[in-house]
Amino acid sequence: MLKIPYEFWVGWRYTRAGRGRRDRFISFIAASSMAGIALGVAALIVVLSVMNGFQKEVRDRMLSVLPHIELFAYSGGGGPAVDPVSQWQSLVALAKRNPEVQGGAPFVAAQGMLARDQVLRGVQVRGIDPKAERDVSGLAGQIKRGSLDALVPGSFGVVLGRALADGLGVTENDTVLMMAPQGSVSPAGFSPRMRQFTVVGIFEAGHYEYDSGMAFINVDDAQRLFRDSGSSGVRLRITDMLEAPQVARQLAQTLPQGYMASDWSRNNRTWFAAVQTEKRMMFLILTLIVAVAAFNLLSSLVMTVNDKQSDIAILRTLGASPGAVARIFVIQGALIGIIGTVIGVGGGALIAFNIDVIVPAIESALGIQFLPKEIYLISKLPSDPQMRDIITIGVVSLVLSFAATLYPSWRASRLQPAEVLRHD
């Protein structure tokens, strides 16, 4: 039969309210410390899960439009004299020698301006091959009206984001005027290069920045309109987007001279670095909630030690060692910390895994919207609870709770029974 040490029973008894008013007050402080720990742990789990979800959601939506890896040709240093778009198939075949590469497609990227009546909008223009584009992005599945296949060379068709189309007041089969930043100089002065395009499709990626500022045209039409004002290359899609930096380095070693590879994390380094920094700072700030609760736990244990001096003296006279007395209060504080952490982890995980139901219910009840899509990149609050974060938060909470028991337990072990019983 398993024999449980008496220190555990005494420590557990001290966590419950006694009959006296002072005992109930001390138990109330212990309960508030437990609630503070649970609240801090739950808040940490929910906030970090939302930040993980926000990062994952934005990254996935970005990469549904943007490539995992881009191959560019740079001038100078004996680089190639031809445009990479003209030999994109051979570049893709070379890249596919890497088992991580799934597909590739040519592209032309440029800045342009769209005009419709009196409305002007600056846009990011991407020239693509409609058939090859299916191998590198999910754009075809995001078309809400029209078809991506309607981007036929020479037809000068354009696919617009839904927010951009709404801003211009156009729909399918309407026409817009696209202007390139590079124009022509004549005796009459500078004249911008422009071309009328027909709207053949409207897409919605769920990323407001792209839905409101991106247009897709055929790669041949883009080369005709933008000529030397845009950049061109080959887009690649790989099996695991998180391995893009390593795959890009591997491809850079096998590409012909004059080519370079750039991955999505490098192109969006500033944004993701900012998100990671914000996540670390939020972890440190919210950990202070748990630290305050642990400080309250320390205070309640000190009060318990002062209140139970007679009990400690009696235990010492009955043969309890100073270590046994210290273990009583360590166990008491540890139980409060463990229970608070378990409640916090359970409550935080419950909220984090069901935030897609909880937040819409709150928005509907209060008639507000927490994430207006005109301001934020996404309009729904995402959540991505990660076991690594939950375990880390739980461990930090237990460590802080255990640390809060050290001083009170040491103080209890230093009490002299004779001195205490003399004053009683």
Indicate whether 88 and 218 sit together in one domain. Answer: yes
pLDDT at residue number 273: 76
Indicate whether 27 and 172 sit together in one domain. Answer: no
pLDDT at residue number 19: 52
Query: For the segment 1-23, what is each residue's pLDDT rounded down to a tens digit?
Result: 456 676 777 777 766 655 555 56
Across the range 297-326, mean pLDDT stands at 80
> Is 69 a domain residue?
no
How many domains does the chain divide into?
A: 2
Indicate whether 92 and 240 sit together in one domain. Answer: yes
Instruction: Give Cα separations from 87 to 92, 96, 217, 316, 398 (angstroms).
Output: 9, 15, 19, 88, 60
List the structure tokens of 112: 């342009």
**Residue 75 pLDDT grade (very low, low, confident, very high; cuts 50, 70, 90):** low
pLDDT at residue number 8: 73
Question: With pLDDT > 70 as the criterion, what percentage of the chain qualifies?
Answer: 86
pLDDT at residue number 80: 45
pLDDT at residue number 357: 84
Name residue 189's beta-bridge partners: 186
| Averaged confidence pLDDT in the chain | 82
Indicate whether 384 and 276 sit together in one domain. Answer: yes
Say yes or no to pLDDT of 78 above 70: no
Say yes or no to pLDDT of 28 above 70: yes
Indicate whether 243 and 329 sit together in one domain. Answer: no
Indicate whether 126 and 191 sit together in one domain. Answer: yes
pLDDT at residue number 196: 92
Query: For the segment 347-393, what is each residue's pLDDT rounded down to a tens digit?
Result: 999 999 988 888 878 878 887 777 666 555 566 778 889 898 899 99
Domain that includes residue 136, residue range: 81-255
> Is 321 a domain residue?
yes
- Domain closes at, from 226, 255, 284: 255
Q: Which residue has the higher pLDDT, 308 or 187?
A: 308
Say yes or no to pLDDT of 116 above 50: yes
Indicate whether 291 and 210 sit together in one domain. Answer: no
pLDDT at residue number 228: 65
- Domain closes at, from 225, 255, 285: 255
Assess contact for 82 and 224: CB atoms under 8 A.
no
- Domain closes at, from 255, 283, 318: 255
pLDDT at residue number 377: 54
Question: With pLDDT > 90 as the criterion, what percentage of the chain qualifies?
Answer: 21
Query: For the segment 138-190, what is each residue's pLDDT rounded down to a tens digit?
Result: 888 889 999 898 999 988 999 999 999 999 999 999 999 998 877 666 565 55
pTM (2 decimals)? Answer: 0.66
Indicate whether 324 and 351 sit together in one domain. Answer: yes
Q: Which residues contact 404 (CB under 8 A, 6 or more apart)?
A: 294, 295, 297, 298, 301, 333, 337
Q: Which residue has the higher pLDDT, 299 or 76?
A: 299
**Residue 286 pLDDT grade (very low, low, confident, very high; cuts 50, 70, 90):** confident
Across the range 186-200, mean pLDDT stands at 76
Indicate whether 232 and 293 sit together in one domain. Answer: no
> Is 65 a domain residue?
no
Say yes or no to pLDDT of 310 above 50: yes
Smallest Cα–Cα separation from 41: which of 338, 363, 418?
A: 338
> Is 217 a domain residue?
yes
pLDDT at residue number 205: 82
Instruction: Give Cα separations from 117 to 120, 174, 177, 364, 392 (angstroms).
Output: 8, 12, 9, 38, 57
Say yes or no to pLDDT of 263 above 90: no
User: How far is residue 232's CA from residue 127's CA, in Å, rounded to a whole number?
Assistant: 9
> Is 165 a domain residue?
yes
**54-55-57-61 Cα dihedral, nearest 10 degrees:** 130
3-state secondary structure 68-86: CEEEEECCCCCCCCCCHHH
> Is 208 a domain residue?
yes
Indicate whether 52 and 154 sit together in one domain. Answer: no
> Is 68 a domain residue?
no
Indicate whether 98 and 238 sit together in one domain. Answer: yes
> Is 175 a domain residue?
yes
pLDDT at residue number 79: 46
Indicate whether 227 and 286 sit together in one domain. Answer: no
